[in-house]
Chains A and B, each alone.
Chain A
């Protein structure tokens, strides 16, 4: 069974940093590209970042480019999102996803002013 479990979220002050992790199981991790999506409270879905299966190619939404960094460790079946210079607009539930098919349960990041 495919499983994706996010962790590392929480409450952080504006300007602060946070690192999200996503632990995957149930599939050959190194074969798939991975994504981070987010959903602000009461709002729609937003794509944040993607990484290729080898980690050599990365992509970012304009809203996070230069502040967020996506990475993966294929030996640990883990995906990461390093977030810095956080602002209140970054408050959201963050989801990791295997391509577009399987999504984690989400992890809340709350940025206070």
Chain B
């Protein structure tokens, strides 16, 4: 199975800051990587797929990059709505696997 290692597990930031979350795959997944945002009690929301493609309706302050085994999610100019938990997921093959999640908190 492909292991996804996401860091940090918790991130404290202020409105207006830029933050970066990293996800590392245990083997090459090309660009078969998705990023989700999840708010408490809600379903995950797809933000980015194929490592860098922004899902429709997602604000442009979200961006993804990377290929192979190293990936990043960057959120620029944080808004109050952005404080949530973020997950990476590889869908290169089964079993699909997720990172452990990053909880983005207000400083």
Residues of B within 8 A of A (CB): 34, 36, 38, 42-46, 49, 55, 87, 89, 91, 94-101
Partner of B46, one of A44, A50, A62, A100: A100
Contact of B94 with A105 in the complex, beta carbons under 8 Å: no
Closest Cβ–Cβ distance, residue A37 to chain B (whole Å): 8
Task: State which size class the interface on A falls in.
Answer: 10 to 19
User: What are the interface flags for A38-75 relative to B under an 8 Å C-beta threshold, 1 for contact and 0 otherwise?
Assistant: 00000011110010000000010110000000000000
Question: Is A87 among interface residues, defined by CB-CB distance under 8 A?
Answer: no
Determine if B98 and A100 form an interchain contact, defined as CB atoms under 8 angstroms apart.
no
Give the nearest-CB partner of A62 in chain B.
B95
Q: How far is the CA of A15 from the CA of B38 in the complex (A)?
A: 31
B residues in contact with A80, CB < 8 Å: none
Across-interface contacts of B87 in A (CB, < 8 A): 44-45
- With beta carbons under 8 angstroms apart, the residue of B44, B49, B98 that contacts A103 is B44
